[in-house]
Structure formats: structure tokens, C-alpha cells
Amino acid sequence: MSQHEGCLAQLLGRVQEGDAAAAEEIVARYGEHLLRVVRHTLIPRLRSKFDSQDFVQSVWASFFADLGHLGNDIQLQDIAAYLGEMARRKTIDEGRRMQTQKRLVDREVPWDGCSEESLSEVPNRALAPSDAAVVRETWKHLTDGRSDRSVQIFEMRRHGATHVEIAQRLGVKERTIQRFLDRAKRRMNKHA
């Protein structure tokens, strides 16, 4: 066994014992390799849907969750190949999952591109009671303590008004409405 392979075996042993610094060293050593594999494997139309780092994190989670299956005879080139193949498979699997009829990327339509005809194709089904409760709670959280004007903006947006329409009705610039709604969205995401 070479010095590098012995070092790797020691490093993996330290990780199995719970040494966070050893885990960080492995991530630093192989992280860029994983990122390249994911970016190379991810099909172009899914690149806007997924962050490559999410796949890399998923690989690390799987890798560190079950280090015991690697054995003691792991070699330096084997670990890079193993991690790369894991990244490739996770990326391909997600690409396949997104091609199912339910999640087919080609079916997506930009919100601004929606027409009355395409909206009429959306099934009109009542919300389940639990979903309705979530909607009410979210609306309450969004509007509580806000000015009448803020609630008015939320109401107009809720009823489908565009940023331009809201800005025209209120006599402000479109960018003002965009910034206001972006801040509200960030606040909601922070509390979610």
C-alpha cells in the first residue's frame, strides 16, 4: 500500500470515528471532482431546475452514511471513481424522474405565457381541508401587521394581476412591486 492509500485509509478510519476535520478533508479533496461529474451529467434543460451542489450534497450524505461498505482495501483512485459513479447515478436518476408524465419538464409553461385556454385545462378541484388550513395560515402570516396598501398588493397578486397591472393601479413603478413581492417571498421562505 502506498503512502497516499495509507493516508486515505487513515482518513476514512478517522471519519468513521466521528472526526469532522477528516470528513472536511475528504470533501475538500474530492468535492470539485464530484461537481464536475454532476455538471457533465445533468442534461441541459434540467440545469435551470437543479443546483449542482444539491447533487453533490446528496452524494456526500450517502457516502458518509455508510462508510463501512467500502472495506479496508480502498485505494486512492477507487474512491474518486466510486464517488464519481455515485454522483453520475444520482444525477441520471433525477433526470429520469423528471421525465415521468407527472413531472415532464416539457409540459411547463412560464406563468406570463399562460393563456385563458391553458388555464382552463388545469383541473378545478377543491382543496383538501388540511391544504385549505395551510393556505389560510400562510395568508394570515403574510398579511398580519401589514399596511392596507401591502395587503392590497397581495390581494391583487393573489387574484392574478401582473406586476405591471399592480404598479399601474397603484401609481408606482413595476420594479417597486417586484422588490416588495421579492422581499415578502424571502420573509416567507425564512419562516417556512
**What CATH number is given to the structural domain containing 132?**
1.10.10
pLDDT at site 125? 54
Examine the domain organization and report whether 51 and 137 are in the same domain.
Answer: no
**Does any domain span residue 113?**
no
Q: HSE on the CB side for 119, CA within 13 Å?
A: 8
**Nearest by Cα to 179 from 158, 190, 163, 192:** 163
Q: How many residues does the chain have?
A: 192
**Does any domain span residue 117?**
no
Q: Domain count for the chain, please give it.
A: 2
Confidence of residue 99 (pLDDT cuts 50, 70, 90): low
**Nearest by Cα to 76 from 22, 24, 13, 30:** 30
| Domain coverage including residue 24 | 3-103
**Does any domain span residue 174?**
yes
Examine the domain organization and report whether 97 and 159 are in the same domain.
Answer: no
The tens digit of pLDDT for each residue in 44-89 reads: 777 777 788 888 888 888 887 777 666 656 665 677 888 888 888 8
Confidence of residue 119 (pLDDT cuts 50, 70, 90): very low
**Does any domain span residue 61?**
yes
Grid cell 425564512 in the structure block, residue? 190
The tens digit of pLDDT for each residue in 31-46 reads: 898 888 888 888 777 7
**Nearest by Cα to 64 from 113, 22, 36, 122:** 22
Examine the domain organization and report whether 71 and 134 are in the same domain.
Answer: no
CA distances from 5 to 29, 55, 83, 85, 124 (A): 14, 26, 16, 20, 61
pTM above 0.75, yes or no: no
Examine the domain organization and report whether 79 and 132 are in the same domain.
Answer: no
**Does any domain span residue 71?**
yes
pLDDT at site 74? 63
Examine the domain organization and report whether 14 and 95 are in the same domain.
Answer: yes
Examine the domain organization and report whether 84 and 31 are in the same domain.
Answer: yes
Region 122-147: mean pLDDT is: 73
